[in-house]
C-alpha cells in the first residue's frame, strides 16, 4: 500500500476532488449493497455503513479529513437542493396535510420543546459544561441549522454536528422496534415522528415505509428546524440564567 501511494500519478489523484467524490460515491454504493443484503436491517443503514470505508481509507492514504471535506464540497452543496426536493412528495400529499394541520402544529411545538429540553435538562443535571449543554440543544434539527443555532447557544459546532448525527442514527435504528411495540401503522404518524426527532436521517428512513411517510417526515424536518431556529436563540438567555 505504501509503495502504491508513492506512485506520482496516484499521489496527485489523492489530492484532487475526484478522489473524494469517488471514495464517497463508492462507499455509499457499498453501503446500499450491504443494506439490501441485510434485508433492510436498521443496523446496516447506509448512513452508518457508508462512513466505515471513508474512516478506514483516509488514514491509509494520508489524506486529512479537512482536505477530504474540501474535496467533497460539491456533495455538501447538493444537500441544499436535495432538501428542497422534499417539497415535491409533500406537495403530492398536500390534501392530507390540510386535513390534519392543527394536530401537526401542536405536535411540532410539543415535540421540538421536548427534544431540546430533555437533552439540555439531562446534560445540565449530570453536570455537563455549558459548551456541551449548548451543543446538545439543537440535536434534533438538521445539521446546517443546528450549526448556526449552536453558535448562539455557545456550543461547539463540531460537537453539535456529532450530536445531530448520533440523534439521527439512533432515531433510524429505534424507529422500527418502537413503532411495532406501540402498534403504530399510520404512515403519517411514523413519518412525522421520524422527521421531528431524527431530522434528515429519520426522513430518509421514513421514505422506506412509503412516500406518504417520507412527505410527512420532510414536513416535520422543516417545521422543527424553523421553530427551533426561531425560538431557541430567544429562549437561551433565560436557560443560561437558570443553569447559573
**Confidence (pLDDT) at 33:** 92
Residues 6+ apart with CB under 8 A from 31: 44, 46, 47, 48, 49, 50
**Confidence (pLDDT) at 109:** 94
CB-CB contact of 164 with 141 (8 Å): yes
What is the C-alpha to C-alpha distance for residues 39 and 85, in angstroms, rounded to an integer? 27
What is the C-alpha to C-alpha distance for residues 100 and 111, in angstroms, rounded to an integer? 16
Does the global pTM surpass 0.85?
no
**Confidence (pLDDT) at 7:** 61
CB-CB contact of 213 with 190 (8 Å): yes
Closest to 171 measured CA to CA, from 209, 197, 145? 197
Q: Give the pLDDT confidence of 202-213 residue by residue, as tens digits.
A: 898 899 889 999
Q: Give the pLDDT confidence of 24-33 residue by residue, as tens digits.
A: 999 999 998 9
What is the C-alpha to C-alpha distance for residues 6 and 16, in angstroms, rounded to an integer? 16
User: pLDDT tens track of the chain, all 244 residues?
Assistant: 445 455 655 667 788 888 999 999 999 999 989 988 888 777 788 888 888 999 999 998 888 888 888 888 888 788 777 777 777 887 788 888 888 889 999 999 999 999 999 999 999 999 888 889 999 999 988 888 888 899 889 888 889 988 998 899 888 888 889 999 999 999 999 999 999 999 888 898 899 889 999 999 999 998 999 999 999 889 988 887 777 6
- What is the number of alpha carbons within 13 Å of residue 129 lying toward its C-beta? 6
**Confidence (pLDDT) at 88:** 81
Helix H or strand E segment including 183? none
**Confidence (pLDDT) at 43:** 77
Cα 72 versus chain centre, distance: 17
What is the SS3 string spanning 56-122? HHHHHHCCCHHHHHHHCHHHHHHHHHHHHCCHHHHHHCHHHHHHCHHHHHHHHHHHHHHHHHHHHHH
Amino acid at each position: 500500500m505504501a509503495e502504491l501511494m508513492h506512485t506520482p500519478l496516484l499521489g496527485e489523484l489523492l489530492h484532487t476532488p475526484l478522489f473524494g467524490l469517488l471514495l464517497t460515491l463508492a462507499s455509499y454504493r457499498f453501503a446500499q449493497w450491504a443494506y439490501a443484503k441485510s434485508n433492510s436491517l436498521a443496523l446496516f443503514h447506509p448512513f452508518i455503513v457508508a462512513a466505515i470505508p471513508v474512516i478506514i481509507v483516509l488514514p491509509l492514504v494520508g489524506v486529512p479529513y479537512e482536505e477530504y471535506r474540501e474535496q467533497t464540497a460539491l456533495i455538501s452543496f447538493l444537500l441544499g437542493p436535495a432538501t428542497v426536493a422534499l417539497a415535491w412528495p409533500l406537495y403530492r400529499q398536500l390534501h392530507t396535510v390540510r386535513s390534519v394541520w392543527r394536530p401537526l402544529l401542536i405536535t411540532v411545538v410539543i415535540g421540538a420543546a421536548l427534544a431540546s429540553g430533555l437533552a439540555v435538562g439531562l446534560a445540565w443535571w449530570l453536570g455537563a459544561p455549558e459548551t456541551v449543554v449548548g451543543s446538545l440543544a439543537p440535536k434534533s434539527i438538521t445539521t446546517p441549522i443546528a450549526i448556526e443555532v449552536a453558535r448562539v447557544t455557545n456550543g461547539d459546532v463540531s460537537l453539535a454536528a456529532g450530536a445531530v448525527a448520533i440523534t439521527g442514527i439512533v432515531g433510524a435504528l429505534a424507529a422500527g422496534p418502537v413503532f411495532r411495540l406501540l402498534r403504530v401503522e399510520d404512515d403519517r404518524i411514523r413519518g412525522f415522528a421520524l422527521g421531528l426527532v431524527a431530522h434528515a436521517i429519520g426522513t430518509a428512513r421514513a421514505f422506506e415505509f412509503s412516500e406518504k411517510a417520507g412527505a410527512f417526515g420532510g414536513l416535520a424536518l422543516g417545521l422543527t428546524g424553523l421553530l427551533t431556529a426561531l425560538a431557541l436563540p430567544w429562549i437561551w438567555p433565560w436557560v443560561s440564567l437558570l443553569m447559573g
